[in-house]
């Protein structure tokens, strides 16, 4: 397998995952705006921050409005992380690695692109927004399903999964980073309506609201949510879940090849040092610092994978 | 239904249904136009989804376009095909023998059949290839021979493509699309399959491993070299690599390691035995050819000459499909095979010759004039279809550089009924059969790519000039 192909697969799946996460963030933001609790503009700022696109927004658009934020996240060509740009980049990478994809995977990416170009050609009205986001999420889910159902379990597959889980962990990490103050046990009077909305928004942005309710009592609060998003290995978007998958993928890539690679050592360290504690220890350490360090490690891991598997040279 | 001036593949000259179309026509009579129209749209959606597109050159943003596909097939009888394929084989054998001779003893020049300056002064001639023995003795692993028909038994070779002929992916996808849309047609007609092409291609490439190739007697390592994602034929490059199950590489994935050309894999560098390159000679090796090329591999020519890699097609094959050499093809075929050519050449005026030039200048409005090294339908004049202004402008170019041009009579290309807004109308077609050459045999895929000029009356079938394609059927006997 070519280094270039590993690179293309890695980024194709990162961008697909990012498209899906951004669509989910928009959904959450819109929902909070509609419930009209708290400062809705402030909520859009935190959505833009979570998506990592606030600096670009400030530079290009300036004033923060709901329409502006949604358009920037959904379809702006000036925002490389907009859903539309992400799907476009994913598809370009798919073309680059066409030979490493099954026909079904390629067609599902291409269909996602063609449909996204169609429904995002014009600004999306508030009325059409829910349907539009649903369609976009279904498209990315279809690519994931095709990948799961048709790709050989060999290096190609491992790189596609590495891209997916690195992006997902990064996304969950950034949501936590932007909202960490809401989760600090002492920040506010626990159980206020505003807190409930905020917590719910966090859970929604990682598609975990239902799952959380099932497993926790009704008075569960920030402690449980923090545990759920960082340490719970049942939640497919928790940091621990993603890190374990990364560990599995790297291990399989290296099986029968002797010494662990540097990227394997990094992910082992990430798990050992950060994701085996009780949630109290995390609060004690400082939630903000903790998340910052994890985000830094995820960046290092990406760089190390690129070196270990000769993405560029 | 047809213009009586031209031969129609379905109706001949006289509105008599031709035999290869009989079963098709039985089916067609029962169909209604609105269903077919819907099928035509369905075909386009299918192509778009599969991503069978080409990139258009010369645009600010590389734009992906579909080559229009027409659902009415071009049908050739088994007998007709048998004759054609023998002629094609003969021609391709002669081309390979000619290339070997030109880069070794040049006996054809010594015999006075071709003037020495046709070779020496030709920019497609590569001095770097003199004395080089290509692995397996094969110069042109893949050849496309462009044929046109002007009457019932009259076929002409319009040009030979011995460098990197393209279009085979459309041949394969057109068939795939027809199978999906009209399965019933294929149970009524026994159509010879084309789907083996990728397997045969890989086998025939693998049959020419270099002397210093795969040391451990393993499966030869084959790869396809593409100029990259923005190349107009990128889809085809990816398609062929995928269908063969080999890597698709770009210049920056490759480097010379220990006397071999090797590709950068996730585990280090792996040597390649056979490189099916879709990069032109000029760009293949910045150390030996154009120094500004980013598309090639520095040093690959030295590895090639030392027997470390097979390049398919071999560098320097352009000397055989050059349009000025074309006019000598009947001599070339006779010289190397000792047989009379089975396929006709179009009479050709070489503008380098003063008498020919004078004739061409006097008859510009009747002739087709082409650049010697042109392709893709660019830089040519179709006299009867040109305006006075076009002709006047072309005359200046021709007078300035006569040796850059050849001229041919305007042929009455045959037509095939084709979907248009107004229903079915005849449109002119050509045919590019694809030929695979290995040290053991020459393999002509039954049929090939039929290109169709979609504009009424147009004779230019190139996709860059508004041409489309059709599925091509060769019936079993």
Tell whether A2 lies on the interface with B, counting CB pairs under 8 A: yes
CA angle B394, B454, A118 (to 5 degrees): 110
Domain annotation covers residue B53: yes
Confidence category of residue A186, pLDDT binned at 50, 70, 90? low
**Is the CB of A95 less than 8 angstroms away from the CB of B247?**
no
Residue B394 domain-assigned? yes
Which of A89, A118, A151 represents a domain boundary (last residue)?
A151
**Among candidate residues B410, B425, B455, the one where a domain is terminated:** B410
Contact with chain B for residue A95, Cβ under 8 A = yes
Based on the fold, state whether residues A186 and A271 are members of the same structural domain.
yes
Could you say which of A107, A130, A151 is where a domain stops? A151
Residue B454 lies in a domain: yes
Domain boundary among B393, B410, B427: B410
**Tally of domains in chain B:** 2
Read off the pLDDT band of A36 (50, 70, 90).
low
Does any CB of chain A come closer than 8 Å to the CB of residue B236?
no
Q: Examine the domain organization and report whether A85 and A164 are in the same domain.
A: no
We report the CATH number of the domain holding residue B361 as 3.30.1490.270
Q: Do B263 and B378 sit in the same domain of this protein? A: no
> Half-sphere exposure (CA, 13 Å, Cβ side) for B196?
12
Q: How far apart are CA A116 and CA B398, in angstroms?
A: 50
The answer on A201 and A105 residing in a single domain is no
Is B120 part of the contact surface with chain A (CB cutoff 8 Å)? no
- Identify whether the C-beta of residue A206 lies closer than 8 Å to the C-beta of residue A237: yes
- Look up the domain containing A210 and give its range: 153-313
B362 and B373 belong to one structural domain: yes
Chain B residue with minimal CA distance to A6?
Answer: B266
- Chain A residues whose CB is inside 8 A of the B250 CB are 4
This model of the complex carries an ipTM of: 0.86
Q: Residue B266 is nearest to which of A96, A98, A155, comparing CB atoms?
A: A155
Are A220 and A178 members of one domain?
yes
| Strand, helix or coil for residue B54 | strand
Residues of A whose CB is below 8 A from B49: 107, 110-111, 114
Query: Which residues of chain B does A107 touch, with a Cβ-Cβ cutoff of 8 Å?
Result: 49-51
B197 phi, psi to nearest 5 deg: -50, -50
pLDDT in tens, B364-406: 999 999 888 766 667 789 888 889 999 999 999 999 999 889 9
- Indicate whether A147 and A281 sit together in one domain: no
**Best of A3, A89, A154 to disrupt the B interface by mutation (most B CBs within 10 Å)?**
A3
A168, A310: one domain: yes
Tell whether A307 is within 8 A of chain B (Cβ).
Answer: no
For residue B269, tell me if it sits in a domain: yes
Same domain, B385 and B262: no
Cβ <8 Å between B266 and A309: yes
Instruction: Give every CB contact of residue B430 below 8 A, 6+ residues apart in sequence.
Output: B146, B147, B148, B158, B413, B450, B451, B461
Q: What is the residue range of B184's domain? A: 20-346+411-474
Where does a domain end: A151, A168, A203? A151
Burial B435-448 (b: 16+ CB within 10 A, else e): bbbbeeebbbbbbb
Across the interface, whether the CB atoms of A1 and B264 are under 8 A apart is answered no
Same domain flag for B246 and B374: no
Spatial distance between the Cα atoms of A130 and B275, rounded to a whole number of angstroms: 50
Instruction: Kindly tell me if the per-residue pLDDT of B2 is higher than 60.
Output: no
Q: Do residues B305 and B261 both lie within one domain?
A: yes
Q: Which of B357, B387, B410 is the last residue of a domain?
A: B410
Residue B333: pLDDT above 90?
yes
Q: Which of A2, A95, A110 comes nearest B264 by C-beta?
A: A2
Mark whether B48 and B87 lie in a shared domain: yes
Instruction: Tell me how close the Cα of B439 comes to any Cα of chain A, in angstroms.
Output: 28
pLDDT band at A191 (very low <50, low <70, confident <90, very high): low
* DSSP-derived secondary structure for chain A: -BHHHHHHHHHHHHHHHHHHHHHHHHHHHHHHHHHT-S-HHHHHHHHHHHTT-HHHHHHHT-S--HHHHHHHHHT-SS-TTSHHHHHHHHHHHHHHTGGGS-HHHHHHHHHHHHHHHHHTSSPPPTTTHHHHHHHHHHHHHHHHHHHHHHS-TTHHHHHHHHHHHHHHHHHHHHHHHHHHHHH-TTSS-TT-HHHHHHHHHHHHHTT-HHHHHHHS-TT--HHHHHHHHHH-TTSTTSHHHHHHHHHHHHHHHTTTS-SPPHHHHHHHHHHHHHSSS-HHHHHHH-HHHHHHHHHHHHHHHHHHHHHHTTS--
Among chain A residues, CA nearest to B267: A309
Pair (B272, B388) in one structural domain: no
pLDDT in tens, A138-166: 999 999 999 999 999 999 999 999 999 99
Query: Does B264 sit within 8 Å of A313, measured CB to CB?
Result: yes
A71 and A170 housed in the same domain:
no
Residues in B closer than 8 angstroms to A310, CB to CB, are 264-266, 268
Same domain for B393 and B353: yes
Residues of chain B with Cβ-Cβ distance to A111 below 8 Å are: 49
Q: How many domains does chain A have?
A: 2
Residue A30 has pLDDT above 80, yes or no: yes
A127 with A169, same domain: the answer is: no
The tens digit of pLDDT for each residue in B107-156 reads 999 999 999 988 988 889 999 999 999 999 999 999 999 999 999 889 99
Instruction: Indicate the residue of B48, B229, B265 with minimum beta-carbon distance to A2.
Output: B265
**pLDDT of B246 above 60:** yes
Whether B284 has its CB under 8 Å from any CB of chain A: the answer is: no
Co-location of B395 and B447 in the same domain:
no
Residue of chain B whose alpha carbon sits nearest to that of A1: B265
Same domain, A5 and A32: yes
* Pick from A102-106, A130-134, A207-211, B238-242: least confident: A207-211
Say whether both B65 and B177 belong to one domain: yes
A13-17, B213-217, B324-328, B340-344: least confident range: B213-217
Q: Are residues B330 and B455 in the same domain?
A: yes
Percentage of chain B surpassing pLDDT 90?
A: 75
| Co-location of A142 and A183 in the same domain | no
Contacts of B50 in chain A (CB under 8 A): 103, 107, 110
- Interchain CB distance below 8 Å, A99 and B247: yes
Asked whether the beta carbons of B141 and B95 are under 8 A apart, the reply is no
pLDDT score recorded for residue A39: 67
What pLDDT was estimated at residue A192? 67
pLDDT at B60: 41
**A2·B49 Cβ contact <8 A:** no
B263 and B392 part of one domain? no
Whether A119 and chain B come into contact, CB under 8 Å, resolves to no
Q: A59, A72 in Cβ contact below 8 A?
A: no
B123, part of any domain: yes
> Does residue A110 share a domain with residue A134?
yes
Q: Is B5 contained in some domain? A: no
For residue A128, what pLDDT is reported?
95
Shortest Cα–Cα distance, B252 to chain A (Å): 9
> Are A189 and A246 contained in the same domain?
yes
Query: Is B258 part of any domain?
Result: yes
Q: Count of A–B CB contacts within 8 Å? A: 56
């Amino acid at each position: 397998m070519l280094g270039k192909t590993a690179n293309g697969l890695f980024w194709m799946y990162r961008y697909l995952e990012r498209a899906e996460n951004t669509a989910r963030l928009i959904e959450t933001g819109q929902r909070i705006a509609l419930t009209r609790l708290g400062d809705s503009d402030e909520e859009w700022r935190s959505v833009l921050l979570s998506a990592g696109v606030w600096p670009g927004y400030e530079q290009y658009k300036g004033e923060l409005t709901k329409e502006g934020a949604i358009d920037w996240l959904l379809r702006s060509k000036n925002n490389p992380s907009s859903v539309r740009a992400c799907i476009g980049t994913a598809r370009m990478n798919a073309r680059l690695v066409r030979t490493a994809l099954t026909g079904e995977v390629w067609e599902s990416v291409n269909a996602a692109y063609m449909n996204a170009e169609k429904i995002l050609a014009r600004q999306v009205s508030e009325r059409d927004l829910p349907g539009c986001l649903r369609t976009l999420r279904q498209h990315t889910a279809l690519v994931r399903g095709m990948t799961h159902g048709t790709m050989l379990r060999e290096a190609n597959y491992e790189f596609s999964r590495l891209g997916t889980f690195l992006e997902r962990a990064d996304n969950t990490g950034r949501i936590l980073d932007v909202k960490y103050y809401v989760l600090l046990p002492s920040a506010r009077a626990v159980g206020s309506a505003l807190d409930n909305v905020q917590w719910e928004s966090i859970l929604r942005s990682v598609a975990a609201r239902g799952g959380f309710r099932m497993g926790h009592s009704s008075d569960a609060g920030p402690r449980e949510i923090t545990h759920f998003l960082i340490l719970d290995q049942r939640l497919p978007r928790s940091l621990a879940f993603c890190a374990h998958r990364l560990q599995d993928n790297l291990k399989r890539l290296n099986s029968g090849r002797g010494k662990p690679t540097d990227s394997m050592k990094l992910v082992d360290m990430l798990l050992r040092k950060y994701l085996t504690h009780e949630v109290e220890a995390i609060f004690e350490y400082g939630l903000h610092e903790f998340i910052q360090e994890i985000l830094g490690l995820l960046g290092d891991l990406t760089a190390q994978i690129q070196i270990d598997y000769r993405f560029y040279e | 239904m047809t213009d009586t001036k031209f031969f129609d593949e379905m109706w001949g000259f006289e509105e008599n249904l031709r035999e290869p179309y009989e079963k098709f026509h039985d089916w067609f009579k029962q169909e209604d136009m609105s269903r077919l129209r819907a099928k035509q749209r369905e075909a386009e959606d299918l192509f778009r989804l599969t991503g069978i597109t080409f990139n258009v050159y010369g645009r600010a943003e590389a734009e992906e376009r579909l080559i229009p596909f027409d659902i009415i097939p071009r049908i050739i009888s088994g007998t007709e095909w048998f004759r054609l394929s023998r002629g094609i084989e003969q021609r391709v054998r002669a081309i390979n023998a000619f290339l070997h001779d030109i880069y070794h003893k040049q006996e054809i020049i010594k015999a006075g059949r071709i003037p020495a300056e046709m070779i020496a002064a030709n920019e497609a001639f590569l001095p770097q290839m003199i004395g080089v023995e290509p692995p397996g003795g094969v110069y042109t692993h893949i050849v496309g021979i462009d044929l046109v028909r002007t009457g019932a038994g009259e076929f002409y070779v319009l040009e030979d493509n011995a460098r990197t002929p393209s279009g085979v992916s459309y041949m394969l996808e057109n068939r795939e699309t027809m199978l999906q849309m009209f399965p019933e047609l294929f149970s009524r007609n026994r159509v010879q399959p084309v789907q083996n092409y990728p397997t045969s291609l890989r086998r025939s490439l693998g049959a020419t491993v270099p002397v210093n190739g795969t040391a451990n007697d393993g499966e030869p390592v084959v790869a396809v070299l593409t100029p990259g994602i923005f190349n107009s034929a990128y889809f085809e490059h990816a398609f062929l690599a995928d269908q063969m199950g080999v890597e698709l590489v770009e210049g920056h994935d490759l480097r010379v390691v220990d006397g071999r050309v090797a590709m950068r894999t996730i585990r280090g560098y792996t040597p390649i035995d056979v490189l099916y390159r879709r990069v032109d000679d000029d760009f293949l090796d910045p150390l030996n050819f154009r120094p500004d090329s980013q598309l090639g591999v520095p040093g690959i020519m030295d590895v090639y000459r030392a027997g470390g890699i097979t390049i398919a097609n071999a560098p320097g094959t352009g000397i055989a499909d050059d349009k000025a050499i074309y006019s000598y093809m009947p001599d070339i075929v006779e010289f190397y095979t000792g047989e009379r050519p089975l396929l006709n050449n179009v009479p050709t005026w070489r503008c380098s010759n003063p008498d020919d030039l004078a004739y061409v200048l006097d008859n510009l409005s009747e002739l087709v004039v082409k650049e010697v090294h042109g392709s893709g339908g660019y830089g040519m004049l179709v006299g009867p279809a040109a305006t006075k202004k076009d002709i006047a402008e072309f005359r200046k170019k021709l007078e300035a550089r006569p040796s850059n041009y050849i001229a041919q009579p305007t042929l009455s290309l045959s037509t095939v009924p084709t979907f248009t807004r107004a229903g079915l109308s005849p449109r002119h077609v050509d045919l590019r059969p694809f030929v695979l050459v290995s040290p053991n045999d020459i393999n002509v895929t039954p049929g090939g790519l039929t290109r169709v000029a979609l504009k009424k009356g147009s004779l230019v079938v190139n996709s860059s000039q508004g041409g489309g394609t059709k599925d091509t059927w060769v019936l079993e006997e």
